[in-house]
Chains A and B, each alone.
Chain A
Amino acid sequence: IVMAQSPVTLSVSPGERATLSCRASQTVNRNLAWYQQKPGQAPRLLIYGASTRATGIPARFSGSGSGTEFTLTISSLQSEDFAVYYCQQYNNWPPDSFGQGTKLEIK
């Protein structure tokens, strides 16, 4: 399964909403996770099951979608949210498919 994320880079001002997209080449049902990666750090789980926030993840992060189209929304960007975001499917085994990432940068 090929995961395609868009846009590659997203420029948004603090306090505004950011919407990131992920598309799967075939259905992954709701078996999709989102990860955040900051420079020099390992990825961190944000969302699993397409829409369930991981422990400790603020409510401003939300996920939606099913099948082949998914969205990660950050409702009001904080300075610490500027990072690279990856989607990953685990519908097919092995769970080897990551999107290429969306870099969220400060406008």
Chain B
Amino acid sequence: QVQLQESGPGLVRPSQTLSLTCTVSGASIRGRDSYWSWIRQHPGKGLEWIGHISFSGGTNYNRSLESRVTISLDTSKTHFSLKLSSVTAADTAVYYCARFLMGTSWYYDLWGQGTLVTVSS
């Protein structure tokens, strides 16, 4: 069974860097049919796409965040990571990792349970 699990600090100070890891189990992170993604959800709001990374390390980022975002892939350790720099209270959200599957059809088929990150001093 394929599972994704987010981990990282639940509290980040303003101006610091938010760092999260998504551990993938039951599937190869090297799969050519997968884009490993980060999506966040502000309290009581909708889903905001942050960015993704392919098996080869290619990335796309949300234009509104790309100056602060880095997504990386550790194929040897079957996890991928998110770094968001210079955070403010507006970055307080539940952060999800997800897999965008590009098989015969395309969709987000797997999601982590989500982790709440609060930005506060």
A to B contact number (C-beta, < 8 Å): 54
Query: Which 5 pairs across A and B sit closest by C-beta, in order of nearness?
Result: A42-B111, A96-B49, A94-B60, A48-B107, A98-B47
Instruction: Give chain B's interface residue range (CB within 8 Å of chain A).
Output: 20 to 34
From residue 81 to 96 of chain A, which have CB atoms closer than 8 A to chain B? 86, 88, 90, 93-96
Residue on A with the closest CB to B52? A94
Evaluate contact between A95 and B96: CB separation under 8 angstroms. Answer: no
Interface flag for B26 (CB, 8 Å): no
Q: Is the CB of A95 within 8 A of B106?
A: yes
Structural contact, B108 and A45, CB atoms closer than 8 A: yes
Closest to A86 in B: B47
Q: List B contacts of A98 (CB < 8 A).
A: 46-49
Q: Which chain A positions have C-beta within 8 A of B49? A: 94-98
Instruction: Give residues of chain B (37-75) contacting chain A, Cβ–Cβ below 8 Å.
Output: 46-49, 51-52, 60, 62
CB pair B107 A45 closer than 8 Å: yes
Q: Which of A41, A90, A93, A97 contacts B107 (CB 8 A)?
A: A90
Bound together, the chains give a CA A54 to CA B96 distance in angstroms of 20
Residue among A86, A90, A95 facing the most chain B CB atoms (10 A cut-off):
A95
